[in-house]
Amino acid sequence: MTSAGEKHSVNDELYVGNRCMLRVAGEHFLVGILEVQKAHIRVTFPGREYPIEGLQVTVEFHDELGFNSYRTHVVRGPETAGGGLILARPVESRRTQYRDSCRVPTDLTVQVKDQVHVRRYDAALVNLSAGGALIVTPAQFDFSTTVEMQLSLPGEPRYTLIGQVVHATGAPTRYNITDKTYGVRFVSLEPDAARSITRYVWARLREIFPSA
């Protein structure tokens, strides 16, 4: 489980001999860096005739706390099995931290608003943890917006939680086309609220995995 962080400049991870994960069309491959030039990098790859020129890919460097990801594209695909790839050299990376709390899916609804505005919006609570939540709502929030979320869990008091938008994407097809999906990281969560969320998370885990 991860949460997205801020962008960084390309650093010294891109050097000959280093190994990383290459994400291609949703699949991950362990590759090694063979060459680093001003405009491109060359990496190992097990396939042949795939991926093709122009395909968007992501280079990821993982460690114990998270990973740095570099978005780029294929300049030249492999010409023989194991022939390697030429990728455009990326110009920046995004740091993603691993989550330190378990997140569970929900079918609940919350109310959410920009902290500096009055209007509240209903939001589908897609998943929840003591560290944050994923919501779908018609509200229009910018990256890093501070939001207030009214959360009422079954058998628990209602809490007003303060969070920060850490990523935003379009909504899945089962929602309205104008809705957006937001990842919210909680800020300064009160101990009572954290305990309520933790109790709910463990109850949901027992429902999802009854033999656990």
Domains of the chain and any CATH numbers:
2-98 (2.30.110.10), 104-208 (2.40.10.220)
**119-157 b/e (C-beta count within 10 Å ≥ 16 → b):** eebebbbbbbbbbbbbbbbebebeeebebbbebebeeee
Query: Which CA distances in Å does 193 have to 129, 131, 147, 150?
Result: 11, 11, 16, 11
Query: Which CA distances in Å does 10 have to 7, 18, 22, 45, 156?
Result: 10, 14, 16, 22, 46
CA dist 86 and 108 (Å) reads 46
CA dist 75 and 52 (Å) reads 8
List, for residues 39-66, the tens digit of each pLDDT value: 999 999 987 778 889 999 999 988 776 7
Which of the four pLDDT bands, split at 50, 70 and 90, describes residue 73? Answer: very high
CA dist 178 and 204 (Å) reads 30
In the predicted structure, residue 159 carries a pLDDT above the cut 60? yes
Neighbours of 5 (CB within 10 A): 15
Question: What tokens were used for 134?
Answer: 């994923």
Burial zone of 85 (CB within 10 Å; 0-12 exposed, 13-18 middle, 19+ buried):
buried
**Higher-confidence position of 68 and 154:** 154
Query: Which CA distances in Å does 44 have to 29, 31, 88, 93?
Result: 10, 5, 14, 20
Neighbours of 102 (CB within 10 A): 15
In the predicted structure, residue 8 carries a pLDDT above the cut 60? no
pTM: 0.58
What lies within 8 Å, CB to CB, of 76 at 6+ separation is 53, 85, 86
Which of the four pLDDT bands, split at 50, 70 and 90, describes residue 1? Answer: very low
Question: What tokens were used for 159?
Answer: 């809490």
